[in-house]
C-alpha cells in the first residue's frame, strides 16, 4: 500500500497544524523535559515523511506520531544518566494515563495544550521568555523564525529559550492549568502575551512588516486555539473577544498604509479595502463572546469592550455614519473595567465625535491637568485636532508642534507634520483620527 508523496505531505502538514502542539504538550506532561519533547516530536514528523509513503498514511496520524515520539523519548532518556526521574515519570504516565491518550481529541479530558500555554505564560518567567516559549512550543515556529521576527540573532533567541526552560525546571514552575482561584489573573497573562505578539507583528511597518507577518498569523491562530480550548469555561468570553479584536484590526491591513508606506488613520482609510470576510468573522466572534458572557453572568471584560468598539467602527460604511454615542458608552464601561489615562483620552475623542469638539476639549484639558499623560504624543495631538475643528488654527499649530516633539517614530512624525502644515495654511472640517 503506497501513498503518493503529495498526499503524505498534506497529511503531515495537517498533522503539523492540528496536532503538533498537542503532542509536544502531552510529551512534556509525560517526561517533564521540554527540549526533549520538542526534539522527539520533530523526529517523529521526520520519520513519518520516510515511513508513510511506503506503508501508507495511518488511520490515526496523531496517535501514530505520539507513539513514535514517546518511544524516541524513552530511548533518549535511557541513554542519559542512570538516576532518571523523567524515565520514571514516563513509565508512570504510560500506565495511569492510557485512557486519556486513547481518547485522543475527545471531550471531557483536559487538553494538554492548555497546560502548555498557561505554563509558557507563567508570571515567574520574564515577558520575553514567555513570548519566545509560546512561539516555540505552542506555535511551533523554529528558533530561527522567532529570532528573525524579533530582530535578534538566532544564538540570542536560543539562549533565551534555554534560560526559560531552565527556570521552569529549577524553580519548580508546575506544568498545569492553574486552579480556579488563580485562573482569572493567569488567563490575563496568557491573553496579554498573545495580544503582545499580535501588536508586534501588526504595528511593524516598512521592511519590518514582511519579517513580522508570521507573528500576526501565529497570534491569530493561537488566539483561535485558546478560544476553543477555553470554550464553556468562564474565560471563554474574553478569549473569543481577543480573537475578535485581532481579526477586526487585521481586517484593515490593506488600508492602513499608503503607497509611500505612511500610516493612514482610521477615518481616512479607504473602507473598500477592508476585508469584509474578516470583519464578519470578527463580528461573529464578538457576538459569540457576548453569548458566553451572558451565560456566565459576569460583566464584559476589557477585550470584549475593545472588540465591541472596533466592531462599531468596522460596521460603519463611512466615518460620519459611525455610532459614536455607542462607542462613548463602551468607553464608559471600559474606564470602569480597565481604567487608564489612555482609555480616558480615547473616550474624550469619542465624546468629541458624538457631542462636538468643545465637549471633547473639556475632557482633554482635564486629562492634561492631571499630568498622567505627560510625554504621550497623542494628548497634544488630540487637543490640536479639536482646536483645529473649532477654527482655532494658531493654537492648533502650537499643539501639533508639541506632539511632533514627542512623537516616537518617523511614521508618526510624518503624519503630524502633514497635519501641522494643514493647520498652518487651511482649515478643514475632517474629524479627528481614532487609532
Partner 1 sequence: MEYMLFICTDPEAPEYVEAEDNIEEWVTDVDARGIRRHGNRLRPVEDATTVKVRAGELLVSDGPFAETKEWIAGYDILDCDDLDEAIAVASKHPMAKFGKIEIRPMWPFEV
CA–CA distance, 90 with 351 (Å, rounded to integer): 60
Does 174 engage in binding with partner 1 (CB under 8 A)? yes
Nearer to partner 1, 186 or 401 (CB): 186
CA–CA distance, 369 with 371 (Å, rounded to integer): 5
Task: Name the minimum Å distance from CB 182 to partner 1.
Answer: 7
**One symbol per residue from 110 to 149: x for binding partner 1 (CB under 8 A), - otherwise; what is it?**
--------------x-------------------------
Task: Name the minimum Å distance from CB 176 to partner 1.
Answer: 8
Applying CB under 8 A, which part among 22-30, 151-159, 165-173, 334-342 lies near partner 1? 165-173
Does 180 engage in binding with partner 1 (CB under 8 A)? no
Sole binder of partner 1 in the list 4, 96, 107, 170 (CB under 8 A) = 170
β-bridge partners, 430:
none
Which residue, 58, 71, 57, is CA-closest to 27?
71
Task: Name the minimum Å distance from CB 168 to partner 1.
Answer: 9
**Long-range contacts of range 347-355, CB-CB < 8 Å, 24 or more positions apart?**
348/382, 349/382, 349/432, 349/434, 350/324, 350/434, 352/386, 352/389, 352/432, 353/322, 353/324, 353/327, 353/431, 353/432, 353/434, 354/324, 354/325, 354/327, 354/328, 355/328
Does 297 engage in binding with partner 1 (CB under 8 A)? no
Torsion, Cα 316 254 329 365, to 10 degrees, reads -120
Length of the chain: 435
Which residue, 106, 109, 98, is CA-closest to 70?
98
Sign of CA dihedral 90, 94, 100, 101: positive
Task: Name the minimum Å distance from CB 178 to partner 1.
Answer: 7
Applying CB under 8 A, which part among 3-11, 156-164, 167-175, 301-309 lies near partner 1? 167-175
Task: Name the minimum Å distance from CB 30 to partner 1.
Answer: 17
Nearer to partner 1, 168 or 197 (CB): 168
Does 173 engage in binding with partner 1 (CB under 8 A)? yes
Task: Name the minimum Å distance from CB 122 to partner 1.
Answer: 8
Contact positions vs partner 1 (CB under 8 A): 124, 170-174, 178, 182
Amino acid at each position: 500500500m503506497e501513498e503518493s508523496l503529495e498526499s503524505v505531505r498534506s497529511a503531515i502538514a495537517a498533522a503539523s497544524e492540528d496536532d503538533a502542539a498537542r503532542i509536544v504538550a502531552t510529551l512534556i506532561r509525560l517526561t517533564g523535559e521540554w527540549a526533549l519533547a520538542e526534539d522527539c516530536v520533530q523526529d517523529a514528523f521526520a520519520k513519518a515523511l520516510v515511513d508513510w509513503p511506503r506503508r501508507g498514511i495511518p488511520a490515526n496520524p496523531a496517535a501514530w506520531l505520539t507513539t513514535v515520539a514517546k518511544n524516541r523519548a524513552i530511548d533518549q532518556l535511557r541513554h542519559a544518566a542512570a538516576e532518571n526521574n523523567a524515565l520514571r515519570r514516563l513509565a508512570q504516565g504510560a500506565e495511569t494515563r492510557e485512557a486519556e491518550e486513547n481518547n485522543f481529541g475527545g471531550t471531557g479530558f483536559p487538553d494538554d495544550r492548555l497546560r502548555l500555554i498557561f505554563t509558557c505564560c507563567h508570571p515567574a518567567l520574564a515577558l520575553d521568555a514567555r513570548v519566545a516559549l509560546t512561539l516555540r512550543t505552542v506555535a511551533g515556529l523554529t528558533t530561527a523564525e522567532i529570532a528573525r521576527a524579533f530582530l535578534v540573532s538566532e544564538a540570542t533567541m536560543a539562549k533565551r529559550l534555554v534560560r526559560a526552560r531552565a527556570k521552569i525546571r529549577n524553580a519548580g514552575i508546575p506544568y498545569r492549568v492553574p486552579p480556579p482561584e488563580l485562573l482569572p489573573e493567569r488567563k490575563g497573562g496568557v491573553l496579554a502575551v498573545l495580544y503582545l505578539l499580535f501588536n508586534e507583528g501588526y504595528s511593524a511597518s516598512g521592511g519590518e512588516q514582511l519579517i513580522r507577518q508570521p507573528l500576526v498569523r501565529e497570534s491569530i491562530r493561537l488566539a483561535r486555539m485558546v478560544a476553543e480550548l477555553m470554550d464553556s469555561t468562564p474565560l471563554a468570553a474574553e478569549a473569543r473577544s481577543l480573537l475578535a479584536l485581532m481579526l477586526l484590526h487585521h481586517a484593515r491591513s490593506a488600508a492602513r498604509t499608503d503607497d509611500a508606506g505612511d500610516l493612514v488613520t482610521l477615518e481616512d482609510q479607504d473602507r473598500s479595502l477592508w476585508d469584509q470576510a474578516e470583519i464578519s468573522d470578527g463580528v461573529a466572534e464578538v457576538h459569540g463572546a457576548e453569548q458566553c458572557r451572558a451565560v456566565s453572568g459576569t460583566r464584559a471584560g476589557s477585550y470584549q469592550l475593545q472588540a465591541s468598539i472596533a466592531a462599531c467602527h468596522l460596521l460603519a460604511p463611512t466615518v460620519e455614519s459611525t455610532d459614536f454615542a455607542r462607542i462613548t458608552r463602551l468607553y464608559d464601561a471600559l474606564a470602569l473595567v480597565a481604567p487608564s489615562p489612555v482609555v480616558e483620552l480615547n473616550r474624550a475623542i469619542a465624546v468629541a465625535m458624538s457631542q462636538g469638539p468643545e465637549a471633547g476639549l473639556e475632557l482633554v484639558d482635564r486629562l492634561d491637568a492631571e499630568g498622567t499623560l505627560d510625554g504621550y504624543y497623542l494628548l497634544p495631538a488630540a487637543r490640536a485636532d479639536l482646536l483645529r475643528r473649532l477654527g482655532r488654527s494658531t493654537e492648533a499649530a502650537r499643539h501639533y508642534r508639541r506632539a511632533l516633539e514627542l512623537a516616537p517614530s518617523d511614521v508618526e512624525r510624518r503624519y503630524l507634520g502633514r497635519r501641522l502644515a494643514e493647520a498652518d495654511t487651511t482649515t478643514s472640517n475632517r474629524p479627528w483620527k481614532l487609532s
